[in-house]
A and B are shown apart, each in its own frame.
Chain A
């Protein structure tokens, strides 16, 4: 198990909090809520060691399109990068609806 923290610059506030996903095999849960400052903060806890560089690439790409000042907690149980991105986008979609 490994824990990583990432910070991204944000441009707009996040209005509410959303929760998606489950810590099941090949899946993850995402808890997204308003940040306390003008940045997005991501805390990743993952069951699979040695993939910090891949997490950074996936999150860099996500934050190239998402500018919300959100605190995001990710609890991962071996999701592939594609599933991680789908869950993050599901969270953003839930934020809008």
Chain B
């Protein structure tokens, strides 16, 4: 731990959140090992957005890159949160699913590839509806197949967060890394307010939103595995530290989570602080 003054540490930090998807992928991979697959000049765009009068992006908002992490072969799928809220359409979803399926094939042939997902997404792209949902289902099944052979790492850094079907993808991964700025949840705050009313949730109350679905809360309640600063090198180091044989995935610990839910009264739900006590991590002094 550095002994420099807090403001000096802040100044020497390289924000990961401020990086676009391509630079995020580059930051996670070992220096000079980044090699993009299906890049912008392959022009694998959404065929559906222009039909609805929406400008498409040349990579459909997903960057797939091969390279190395800590010297080991890796593949990174990075979602660009600035394009259509990082939404998953037919093409962007197929790029992620395809990358994971090829990594699985390599693992099955005895050539392990470490898959890393950089998730910045509101979930399915509503303009592409079922085609996006089908792709997300393929991503889910690829993660479940892959995690039996190699740790599947997800990073939610912010500021979009990770919602909808892709929050399920994050939850299926072997290791989930978050920052304090991250948000992780099924329905986004705006959607909850729109559907259930402002008395249910005020989506403009940032302190409330982050206390419910923010990275720190998700980590404190054991729903994320690591809480790191918004620093590209710190996040890359955390990804590198993931080793073989991580704990059983949360989605396989069904009894444990049913037991946890049994202690919650939906008519009188606990406050975020109380939930931390109720669902405390086993290593509360971890951070």
Please report A residues at the B interface, Cβ cutoff 8 Å: 1, 17, 19, 22-25, 27, 29, 31, 33, 45-47, 73, 75-77
B121 CB → nearest A CB, Å: 14
B20, B40, B50, B55: residue with the most chain A Cβ atoms closer than 10 Å: B55
Tell me whether B82 and A24 are in contact (CB under 8 A). yes
B49 CB → nearest A CB, Å: 9
Tell me whether B55 and A47 are in contact (CB under 8 A). yes
Q: Does B112 touch A at the CB level, under 8 Å?
A: no
A29 interface neighbour in B40, B50, B53, B84, Cβ under 8 Å: B40
Tell me whether B54 and A31 are in contact (CB under 8 A). no
Interface size band for B: 10 to 19
* Contact residues in B for A19 (Cβ distance below 8 Å): 39-41, 58
Which secondary structure dominates where chain B touches chain A? loop
Q: Does B80 touch A at the CB level, under 8 Å?
A: yes
Please, how many angstroms separate the alpha-carbon atoms of A22 and B61 in the complex?
A: 8
Please, how many angstroms separate the alpha-carbon atoms of A1 and B41 in the complex?
A: 22
A79 CB → nearest B CB, Å: 11
Please, how many angstroms separate the alpha-carbon atoms of A86 and B82 in the complex?
A: 18
Tell me whether A22 and B58 are in contact (CB under 8 A). no
* Contact residues in B for A23 (Cβ distance below 8 Å): 55-57, 61, 82-84
B37 CB → nearest A CB, Å: 14
B58 interface neighbour in A1, A24, A73, Cβ under 8 Å: A73
Please, how many angstroms separate the alpha-carbon atoms of A77 and B40 in the complex?
A: 17
A36 CB → nearest B CB, Å: 15
Interface residues in B31-49 by Cβ distance below 8 A to A read 39-41
A1 CB → nearest B CB, Å: 5
The 3 closest A-B pairs by CB, nearest first: A24-B82, A23-B57, A19-B40
B39, B56, B57: residue with the most chain A Cβ atoms closer than 10 Å: B57
Tell me whether B57 and A22 are in contact (CB under 8 A). yes
